[in-house]
Structures are given as C-alpha cells and as structure tokens.
Structure 1
Amino acid sequence: MRVWAAQQNRLESLDVLRGLAIFCMIFVDAVPDPDRAPSWMLHTPWQGISFADLAFPGFVFAMGAAMAVWLDRRSGRRQGAATGKIWCRTMALILLGLLYNSLPLFFQYLLFPETASLSLWEEFSQHGRWLGVLQRLALVYAAGMMLGGRLRSDFRILLAAFLLLAASSAGFHWYAPNHPFAMDHNISSAVDQVFPGTAHCYLGKTFDPEGLYGTIACTASVLFGMLAGRLLQEKSMGGVLSLAASSALLLAAGWSWSQLDMVSKPLWTAPYALYTSGVLMLLAALVQLLFLCVPRAASFVFHPMRVFGMNALFIYMATGVALSLLWLLPSSAEGQPFFSWLWSVSVGSMFSEADSIVCFALLWCVCWWPLMELLYRRRIFIKL
C-alpha cells in the first residue's frame, strides 16, 4: 500500500459513489445477530435480491468507474508500464485477500492457543478460505482493465459486457440443462470443487459465493461501471440523461433475462448483474445531478460518504480486522461473542430487536468516521 496526497480536480461524484458502496458493505457486515436482523440487511441465501446484495456490486461498479478515469488519463502513454501496474495491483489485492481471510485463524491462535491442533500455516493450507471479496476484486480488476484498455469504444465495452453475461448464462444451462441453478448441482459449484475445493470454500460449503465462475458475470458489472465512469466525466446534463437511459436499459434487460435465469447473488447470475448495475447506474445519475445543480449543498451533504470513499480499501480492511477480533473475544454473558454483547448492552433494549440492530450497525459505521475524517484532513489516502 502507498500513501498518496489527494489529487486536484477529483471527480466528487465518483468518490461519493465509492463511499456509499463501502459504507453499505461495512453496515451490512456489522449485523450483531443475523437471526434477529431484518431480512433486507442480510444477503439472500440463494435466490432473489435484498438491500445487502447491492453493497458488493456497488463497490465493483464504482471500481469500474474509477478504472475508466484511470484509463482515460493515461491514454496515449506507454502500454507496457500501465500493464505492469495493473498486474502488480492485481497480485497485491490477491495477497491482501489471503491475509484478510487468515485473520480469524490468526486471532484464534493468538487468543486461544490451547485449542489448536495444527500450526497456523497447516490450518490455513488445509482449511483456510482461499477466495473472497478482495480476490474477486483483483480478478475482475485485471479482466476489466485488459478489456477496457483494448476495446476503447462504449459500444464495444457494452457488447463485451453482454457477451460475458451470455457466456455465464450458457455455462449454467449447458452443465445442467434441466435444473441449471440447483444449489447442489450447478457449474459454479462444480468449478469450486476443482478450485479451491470444498475445504477452502466459504464456511466449508460446496460452493463459494466469490468463486471463480461468478467472476465472468462480475466482470460485466465492472464494464457497466466503466461506462458509467465515462459518462460521469462529462459533468453535463447530457451525461446524466445518458446514465438514466442506461439504467432503464439495464433494468429492462435484467427483467427480461430473469424470465430465463435465476436472480442470485451467490452465483452472480446475469440478471443479478443487470439489476444491480441498473440500480447503481440510476444512483450515479442522481448523485451527478445533485453535484451539477446544487454543488455546494451536494458536497456538504455527501461529505461523510466522500471521506469514506477516499480510503475505501483501508476502511474495509480496518473494520474487517476489528470485527474478526470482536466476534472471537468472549463477553461477560456466557456463550455470547463480545460484538453481539456490545449490541445487547448498548441499544439492544432501547428499540425493537430489528430496529436496534439497524441502529447498532449505523453506530458502528459512524464510530469510524473520526478516523476517516482525520485521514482526509491530513490528506492521507492509502491506495494500492
């Protein structure tokens, strides 16, 4: 990671979009009791879509928009150097993802060494999760940058995105024609059995929600974000109208495709990619419209999100480290993790269970704001 000073003339709407995405990711990760939380705060287990299912696609979409800005600013420069940076960042994200996934095991060994029957390395190599959010970001970043850097035109990028979705959908129907999206028999889980294998999937399941096959359709989500990034750079009402029209197109395509394929976040199916990208395209249009019409008010209202967006990767990892530790620490209540205990003794009895969980998750996010504000005011931005 590197610490950079802020660039001048940044695209504020893009920073806000990234901040909104990372804020939502932190918010839905901070559920203290999944059994009592409202359903919209939880990821759908297999089919359908909820508010929580927009968080990760939001970050993927914002990353695609930032990639468009990066590529446009470096157009005409030597390609070899840019390609080297892309692959270095990809490998760095993969390594960070492996480190991030090993944190629960590390804290387990640190706090409760007497429970260990294997060394930390043996435990991770035999049972650790090898894929995850950061690893998927790395793969779709590399694929998106390679495609975006070569396709150039908006039409080619849009066509590539739909071809990727078509390829992903065709794979499901080819592998299991009768029941292409069955939980126990689909092409995505079959790929996961080869790599990384059941022992290294999320919670030891037969599939991984960030598995390799879902990367195909997820790359399409990045390309849709890239198209949004190009429109955001126009900073015009024409760009806003184009974003809104693109949103309508993607939502209509998502509805049409959902008549054939299932909407599923764990599989990252084609209609899921289209629905989420359509919603995010509309959100981008609304944010950009506010910055065009009332720039000072928009900058003031969205300042907290901009602060989060300027250090998105750092805050994601920092909150993840904290959550890993707090879920492992014991509390005064027997059998209750410390993080869940914090909820019960703070706002757990002040409102209904569902409302108190929402309030607690919001408070968790707000508690990180002073640190992010300090980094922002010091002009410290930690990036790969």
Structure 2
Amino acid sequence: MSDAISWVKVSACTLPLANPISDAKVLTGRQKPMTEIALLFVEMKTRDGAEGVGFSYSKRAGGPGQFAHAKEIAPVLIGEDPNDIAKLWDKLCWAGASVGRSGLSVQAIGAFDVALWDMKAKRAGLSLAKLLGTHRDSVRCYNTSGGFLHTPLDQLMVNASASVAQGIGGIKLKVGQPDCDKDIERVSAVRQHLGDRFPIMVDANQQWDRPTAQRMCRRLEPMNLIWIEEPLDAYDHEGHATLAAQFDTPIATGEMLTSVQEHWDLIRHRAADYLMPDGPRVGGITPFLKIAQLAEHAGVMLAPHFAMELHIHLAATYKTEPWVEHFEWLEPLFNERIQIQDGRMLVPTLPGLGVSLSEQARRWTTASFEATA
C-alpha cells in the first residue's frame, strides 16, 4: 500500500526588514516603501514518517490572503499519495478554482507544491537539483539588495565592493526615477567603479512608458549591461518585444507573472531575452518546470526572481547557463546558508531543498493551522 499524507501545517510568518526598501514604484507614488515580507510555510508528514517543507511569500500586501486560502485547501491533501505531485497540484487548484488559476490563489498552492517536491527528494536521498537532473553544480549569481533607490550613491559603491568581496558575480541596480539623468549618473558611476567588464544589470520595475523606455534603453546601450529589467508594464508584451528586437542589450521580464499561461504569452511574443519566472508566484516547482521547458524550446535565457533558496536548484537544471538572484533577506528563516564562490552560487547537496526552518522563523510566526488524518 502506498504512503499517504497524514499531517499538514500551514503557517503565516512576518519577516521584518532592517531598512525600508524603495524602488521606482515608490518614487512614482504607486507603492509605499517595503518594511516586511509575509511568508507562507507549509510543513507536511506522511503515515510512514516522510517530511517536507515549502514556502511562498508576498511583499507589501497579500500575506493574510495567501494564508487564508492555504487554510481552506490544505485538508484536501490528507490521505493522498505524496508522490502524485502533478495530480495534487490540480486537486489544490480545483479546490479553490472559483478565485482563479493565477495570482494569490496559485501563490498559496506554491508552498504546498514545494513541500511535496522537498519530501520527494528527501525520500530519494537527493538534493532537489539532483532529483530533477542538473546541468551544473554552481550557478552565476548577482546581488540586488545593495542597489535599491533609497541607497545614496556613495553607499552604492560600498555595497557593490562588499558584494564583489563576498564572491558575488554581478550587481543589479534599481533605476526608474522620475529624473532619468539621475539613473544614468548612478549606473555610470558604478560602471566606472567596477570596470568595463564586470556584470551589471538594471531594473526599472515597470515604471517607464514606451517613449521613456526607448530613450533609456538607447542611453544605457553603451554601458555593456547584462540586461535591462522590466522597462515596461509586466503585461506589455508587444512593447517589451519591440525593445528586445531593437537593442543589443537583453531585455529581462516575467517576475510578476503568476501562471504558465501568462509566461507562454510573453514567450510567444518574443518579449524577453531573459525570462524571470518566480517559483512561488507561479504556483511552485511543478508549473515552474513547464515554464522552463517552454523557455528552453524558444531559446530564451533564464534568471529566476528572488527566493534563491529554491531557485538555485531550479536554475541548476536549465540547459543554458542561467543567473540566480542573491538576496540575503530570507536567511534568518533557515538554519542553513548557501555558499558563494568565484561569482557563483553553489548548489546545496543536502537532501531536498537543503533547508530547515529556524527558531527565528518560529518566533516570527503569527498564525498557524493544522490538518490531520
């Protein structure tokens, strides 16, 4: 008789950030500075004693909604075979289908899906990357957390140097200020500071209109950037495609999309040179792998957004050399640390995701729910 899920715990956790975070969305008045991140954790056990842990997250808003949805759908997993991950993804999706198959509801499913894959890899005695099938044991990584717009220019240089000293392979800078000249000044200064060949990316967080994006891509073209990220609204696939076709500097986008279908629409428009899917946002590992297959078939490069604790494993399985985004923000939630060396992030070798929840994560937990057999 096959094993069966006997216990599922859903937890809401609020992680405070040391400093309020501002990007272009704050400067345009569309959002307030970010002061915390809401995490959704799922822990599960089976009748035979197998265990798995997964997570999803939300920034600025949506955390309570994810937790509420997860509580409603968690009981449908009780008694199910944890190996039937694709079947269980569909079952969770249809349990809440009246609120749609993208957005907040799917992000709640993501935490369950990651926990199921974590459990499957642990049962096999393999890291998640090895279970899925790797192309590499390390992945190029770049740091974003030191390049936000609230950071003064002189501190930007200090942060960049610190990241390089840590072994980070690239630096991403936020752009999209109302005064475009200030963006050019900051990028030019960091380019001069790090040299002509060091990998630098920029991210406008969807805050340019089409004429501004056209002008800024032209002005940034001589700076030898790895990519220009989200120059336009996340759903303006035609606009992104025009920029991707016109300029040598690659265009990156996709992090705000929350389904396989939305990513396919972006891919078929040829709107991204670098696709940036976010595993928790698209509903976990199961849909992420579908997106990666579509991207590989289209010859698109891959750079997953945020959540390096998960994405290091998924990026390691991609055929073309990818990038992983280094964010230290989530580190207090886990007992383990990902290693950085010579510009690359080393793929963890422990079974599953290779992470366990810390006591700090328990202390930051604000609510929980358990479903049992």
TM, length-normalised to structure 2: 0.30
By relative contact order (CA 8 Å, sep 6+), the higher-ranking structure is 1
TM, length-normalised to structure 1: 0.29
Identify the structure with the greater helix proportion: 1
Identify the structure with the greater strand proportion: 2
